[in-house]
């Protein structure tokens, strides 16, 4: 359990830009080095975590669950979240304290376009799990347009994506 | 005019409603709930906190729950935001694993999940368009957005490389009042 916490804790602090950036490293540790789960199980757990709502860190709780049941799931989730959120707590405090400082406003203006570029990149990566094709380009552009230009609930957009997926990606 | 939540419970319920619906990615839902439905933050403020959380390691929106929860109600607020965000998805994912683990890799199910994932990617793109709207008339901002997108999305360069380069360029541009 301690090992589980420590490994995920370490990964937590490396995960700049979110969990997707450490997936290869996580697979290396979990499958090859520690042999907590097999490669096939890892793929399966990843698929399950994709099917559930919520942050994709939940793959970690699934790995913990495989190893040690409910407590394993909680410990693994704590491991991947606590170090990073503790850092966020501290940095967030500093960020608030300098709310009206000129340098802080400069940084804010500078980071905005960088951040937006990363959101576009994240969307592109999610929309092209197996490379760019007509099918997924159509689904992704339609979803983006519906979110941007209409007030339709995104749940309908996702449901439509599911149907389109069944038609296009089988 | 955006108004912050009035109680810790409201923070918890807000993030609970983000977690509950966030199929295909959390960010679009966080934006929808925080900026559009509950109007806790103005769009520019949301982008500011998001940017901070993207630069920190770990899950972006969990970081956001902590930073915003702290801003509003200190430690209880941060815990309420974090637990609210995680509670339902945690239960969901374990239930799914217990019931459907064998189905998850089956071709039909995989196709549906992939479709949802692709549509979720589209929701990210739509959210990025909304967030980017105020910058649309600033050529340098558009260039930085395009550059970050190309480096991370198309070329898959590690954020550990892109981030420092992008920040230095952006800070220099902001100093020149190009942003």
Share of chain B above pLDDT 90, in %: 71
As a whole number, mean pLDDT of residues B89-113 equals 84
pLDDT score for B24: 82
Question: Given the structure tokens 């459907």, which residue do they identify?
Answer: B100
CA distance B171 to B154: 24
CA distance B148 to A117: 5
Residues in chain A with pLDDT values less than 70: none
CA distance A121 to B159: 11
Spell out the residues 6+ positions from residue A168 whose beta carbon is closer than 8 angstroms to its own. A135, A136, A139, B111, B115
| Chain A residues whose beta carbon lies within 8 Å of the beta carbon of residue B170 | 110-111, 113-114
Instruction: Give burial (CB, 10 Å; 0-12/13-18/19+) of B107.
Output: exposed
pLDDT score for B42: 95
From B37's Cα to the closest Cα of chain A, the distance in A is 11
pLDDT of residue B122 exceeding 90: yes
pLDDT of residue B103 exceeding 90: no
DSSP A131-167: B--HHHHHHHHHHHHHHHH----HHHHHHHHHHHHHH
| Chain A residues whose beta carbon lies within 8 Å of the beta carbon of residue B106 | none
CA distance B85 to A10: 22
pLDDT score for A74: 95
As a whole number, mean pLDDT of residues B166-176 equals 93
| Chain A residues whose beta carbon lies within 8 Å of the beta carbon of residue B47 | 112, 115-116
Q: Choose among A9, A85, A21: nearest CA to B161.
A: A21
Contact A90, B52 (CB under 8 A): no
CA torsion, ordered B7, B12, B17, B20, to nearest 10 deg: -170
- Mark out the alpha helices in B22-59 (DSSP H runs): 27-31, 43-55
DSSP B58-70: S-HHHHHHHHHHH
For residue A91, give the nearest of B56, B92, B152 by CB distance: B56
pLDDT score for B96: 86
> Where do the domains of chain B lie?
8-135, 137-179
pLDDT score for A55: 87
pLDDT of residue B101 exceeding 80: no
Structure token pair of residue A2: 């301690």
Contact A112, B135 (CB under 8 A): yes
CA distance B23 to B165: 32
| Chain B residues whose beta carbon lies within 8 Å of the beta carbon of residue A17 | 54, 60, 152, 159, 163
For residue B23, give the nearest of A53, A111, A130 by CB distance: A53
pLDDT score for A1: 84
> Model's pTM, two decimal places?
0.91
As a whole number, mean pLDDT of residues B79-85 equals 97
- Please provide residue A16's backbone torsions phi and psi, each rounded to the nearest 5 degrees: -70, 130
Query: pLDDT tens digits, residue range B106-121?
Result: 888 888 888 988 999 9
As a whole number, mean pLDDT of residues B11-23 equals 95
Greater pLDDT, A24 or B161:
B161
Greater pLDDT, B177 or A115:
A115
pLDDT score for B36: 95
End-to-end CA distance of chain B: give it in Å, rounded: 25
pLDDT of residue B27 exceeding 80: yes
Cβ distance B118 to A114 less than 8 Å, yes or no, reads no
pLDDT of residue B74 exceeding 90: yes
3-class secondary-structure state, position A56? coil
pLDDT score for B100: 72
For residue A170, give the nearest of B51, B57, B111 by CB distance: B111
């Amino acid at each position: 359990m301690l090992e589980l916490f420590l490994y995920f804790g370490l990964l937590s602090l490396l995960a700049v830009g979110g969990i997707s950036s450490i997936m290869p490293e996580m697979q290396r540790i979990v499958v090859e080095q520690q042999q907590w789960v097999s490669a096939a199980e890892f793929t399966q757990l990843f698929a399950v975590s994709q099917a559930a709502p919520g942050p994709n860190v939940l793959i970690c709780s699934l790995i913990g669950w495989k190893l040690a049941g409910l407590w394993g799931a909680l410990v693994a989730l704590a491991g991947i979240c606590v170090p990073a959120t503790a850092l966020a707590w501290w940095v967030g405090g500093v960020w608030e304290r300098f709310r009206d400082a000129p340098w802080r406003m400069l940084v804010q203006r500078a980071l905005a376009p960088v951040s937006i570029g990363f959101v576009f990149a994240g969307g592109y990566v999610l929309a092209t799990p197996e490379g760019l094709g007509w099918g997924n380009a159509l689904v992704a552009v339609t979803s983006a347009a519906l979110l941007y230009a209409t007030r339709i609930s995104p749940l309908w957009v996702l449901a439509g994506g599911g149907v389109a997926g069944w038609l296009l990606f089988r | 005019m955006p108004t912050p939540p009035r109680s810790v419970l409201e923070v918890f319920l807000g993030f609970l409603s983000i977690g509950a619906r966030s199929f295909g990615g959390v960010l679009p839902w966080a934006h929808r709930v925080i900026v559009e439905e509950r109007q806790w933050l103005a769009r520019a403020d949301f982008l500011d906190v998001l940017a901070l959380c993207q630069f920190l390691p770990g899950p972006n929106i969990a970081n956001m729950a902590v930073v915003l929860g702290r801003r509003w109600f200190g430690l209880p607020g941060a815990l309420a935001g974090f637990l609210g965000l995680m509670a339902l998805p945690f239960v969901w994912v374990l239930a799914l694993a217990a019931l459907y683990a064998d189905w998850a890799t089956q071709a039909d199910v995989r196709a549906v999940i992939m479709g949802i994932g692709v549509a979720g990617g589209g929701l990210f793109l739509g959210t990025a368009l909304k967030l980017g709207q105020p910058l649309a008339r600033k050529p340098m901002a558009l260039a930085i957005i395009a550059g970050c997108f190309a480096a991370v999305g198309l070329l898959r360069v590690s954020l550990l490389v892109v981030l420092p380069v992008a920040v230095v360029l952006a800070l220099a541009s902001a100093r020149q009042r190009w942003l």
